[in-house]
Chain A
Amino acid sequence: MKISEVQAVLGTLPLGAFVMDEELNVVWSNHYFDTQFFLKEYKKTNVASFNFIESEESMIDLFSKAFHAPKPWSQEHFCEMSCGKHYHCNISVHELDEVHVLVYLQRSVDVIEQCDDLLKTTRYDHVTSLVNRSYFLELLGEKLLEHNKNKSSLSLLVLDFDSLDDYDVLFTSTDDETIFIELKNKIQEVVGDAQLFGRMSTSKFAIVYEDIVSTVEVEKIAEEIIYLFSEPILVKGHLSYVELTIGVSLYPVDTGNARMLLHKAEHSAAAMQNIEPNSYSFAHKLPEQNVENVLQISTDLPSAIEKEEIYFMFQPQYCHETQRFCGAELLARWEHPELGFISPEVFIPLAEQTGMIRAVTMKAFIEAAKLFKEIEAVGIKNFSLSVNISPSVLLYGDFLEDLKFFMENYEMIGKPLYLEVTENDLARNISKMIEILEEVRAMGILIEMDDYGTGYTSLQYLSKLPIDTLKIDKSFVRDIDTNKHQAVLFKAICEMSLALGYDIVAEGVETKGENLIVASHKKVRVQGYYYARPLLKKPFLELIQKKLQ
């Protein structure tokens, strides 16, 4: 056999092979030998330099003997692989021509399994044994290349069990991971023809279907999965309900890039969490967004809270009766070190989608507690603070317990703290909201309905809601001094609210004329640029100590 033939046959096989001459020079070696038995920088020109074989003989003695011995010649030795582990190998030498021999180094079967295990830890999730994120992306990339050649399509589904994201890992107990194995087993029931099934993160799984590409077929699969999880799963002997959302991306419709295809499906799944749990959404049906930025913002959110990149500004409320500032709304702002100012309209919905809104809200509570102390320290009394609260926070199972902890441990009992809920959020799940808000009020916290007039709360419901204050939306305040219809509407809302026993805040007061009209209505507090824009703490504290005419 010629060396060129050896190269062709053994070049890519998963066993070590090299050719040496009588001088013990290595004249050729295959890729496996180079990478598995040698560190990159190691010179492998002569067997004298080999140090991976554990033998009492020198390498020169061992291979000289092998070169001149009758062929085939073989011996068993322990070898140190480049991964640092020691494996049992069979070294066999075969004659090539008069001046060259071929040497094979082959691990025994159990050893190969050990190496496979090593490979598994880098490619497979250790809990579910599914392919992990990086290997999934590698395989998906290969599939996209094939589909690009064949001009065919594929579908990617991401199953996001968001409620499990806060799952802490207690290493003392293996039971904690049981739920993820149960989820995998359950999903496997419908995976069927899927060509690729992996675990992307703690609570996210991804499935690729290569033969199912029509949206109708994909919808059918998504509905089947959601139906499957409408029943509880058995974990540690207990039946547990889990919520999930599914995001779908399609190749080539959404993108031709594996990473982006996965990101788009993940983004779609996350976007549905706040809108409708246990539902699915297609990436191409979501409004166009800068996905890369959205991903960076989502990733950076948790650390932004801790690093105080997310901070609070305070918009004062003025009270005509006392001619003083009498309250303020806390408004979250984010100054990102790379992306600059990120609008709350961007990061609040993302925080809601990722569950981080609970941490943002808790930070707002802590900030309010601190501010109450500072306000008292400058001698101001009867000053209220309002914290915006998202329905996803209110509806979260532990919210009331967390709120109680805050009230009791941050000296908040008896403080005029408002929770602001928008009218639309209240209307969305009204009976549950009433139940929770009543418990919130029982803790001595006041409730404000934000954006009043823009939602769909019927007057019948309005009288039943456990609220203390209505904040009239700025669209009803604008031009009340110049537009008769606006003025009539504003007056009617004020009279009705007062008759129902609610306090009133007029939002968005920007001009002297608007302020004069609002001032003519008793008991109406004013919030708007006419008095102050949202301020940082220092100027805010300076302003509220002034008495304005």
Chain B
Amino acid sequence: MNTIASLHIGEMGYISEESLDSIPLKLLEMGCLPGAEVQLVQIAPLKDPLYICVNGSHLAIRKETASKIRILKSE
């Protein structure tokens, strides 16, 4: 199962529709929507948190949250 946490730095994916319920409302409000393109920009030196870019928002989220958000990897 691919999640945001399984992306490599620079890799992109699309947030899958089925993960809607596992996205916290706050993240949803910040543009982390199902169907949106998400890129992993950077990983913090201690492997956590993750720095992502989604829908034009640059956000840092914890690995724990990221590993619950399923994605479809882009080719």
Does A associate with B in a complex? no
List residues of chain A with CB under 8 Å of any chain B CB: none
List residues of chain B with CB under 8 Å of any chain A CB: none
